[in-house]
Amino acid sequence: MKGYIYVIVIILLCCWTLNAQSCKRKSSCSCECSDGVLDLKPGATKSSTKYQDVAAADGSLYSYNPCYSFDETDPSLPPQFDNCKSVAACQLVPGAQNQLYDIGTQESASFSYKDGASIDQPNLGNVLTVTYVAADNARTTTVVLQCDTTEDFLPVGEIPNSQPPLYIYVYSTPNACLKPLGLSAGTILIIVLICVIAVYLIGGVLFNKLKKGNSGKDLIPQRELWVSLPGLIKDGVFFVVKRGQYHPIKG
């Protein structure tokens, strides 16, 4: 029975992994998702900053350049306030003494699906994002990638009371639309699994019919195992929940 429990646990974990939304990084501006490939490079600019000093509601000005690093400097600023060198995202805090902050580098880019509520955007639902971390790890920027027919950039600004400071951009572009590239690894695995199950069932029925002379319900291969499957699944679930401390009650 314990061996069956381990099998059920592995199956449940595999199913959860296949269904989880993810996007594996290929470069600082592309990733491969379960539904296709995202590539921001066609809309990127290398010789200049794509979006520079765009005002946000928090009073700061924000710059963003997907794919390629950029510099935004001010020779009049002391070193501690002139930090936007080789960055993907920059914050300019205006005042008597302007301040420039690195809020994310290209090298740190990571892609993931996030619940909009977790980044203070509950109306967005589950969204694909790219997150950048500053070179000193002091600040982080999450860019919400929205598939749209036109390009638009909205710096939401800093999330209040976030520690370390977290900045949100919403970047709408046709390049945020996932492009299918054939069958994904997960899809291929599911197809193979279905084929294996079909061969198992058909072969098992034929074997039980022709070799054993069974009929009716006895044609089902390993029928005793499938009858006990609901109980095995229950044991497997409790095994995961209780972290291996669950012991099924023996009848």
Domains of the chain: 2-17+182-241 (no CATH), 23-176 (2.70.130.10)
- 1, 44, 111, 171 from 149: Cα distances, Å: 55, 16, 21, 12
Q: How do residues 165-212 score in pLDDT, each as one tens digit?
A: 999 999 999 999 999 876 556 667 788 888 888 887 787 778 787 877
**Cβ atoms within 10 Å, residue 94:** 12
Tell me: pLDDT of 118 over 50: yes
15-29, 40-54, 143-157, 235-249: lowest mean pLDDT where?
235-249
Mean pLDDT, range 130-156, rounded to an integer: 97
- 64, 50 contact by CB (below 8 A): yes
Does the model's pTM come out above 0.85? no
Cα distances (Å, whole numbers) of residue 90 to 60, 67, 226 = 10, 14, 59
Q: Both tokens of residue 5?
A: 């429990």
Which of 56-70, 135-149, 196-210 is the least confident region?
Answer: 196-210
pLDDT of residue 7: 42
Using the Cα atoms of residue 80, residue 85, residue 90 and residue 94 in order, give the sign of their dihedral: positive
Position 15 scores a pLDDT of 46
Residue 108: both structure tokens together: 């740190």
- Residue 249 has what DSSP assignment? P
Q: How many C-beta neighbours within 10 Å does residue 123 have? A: 6
pLDDT one-digit tens code per residue, 22-52? 899 999 999 998 889 999 999 999 989 999 9
Residue 198 to residues 4, 156, 178, 180, Cα–Cα distance (Å): 21, 52, 32, 28
Q: Look up residue 55 and give its two tokens.
A: 């005002």
Coil, strand or helix: which one is 195?
Answer: helix
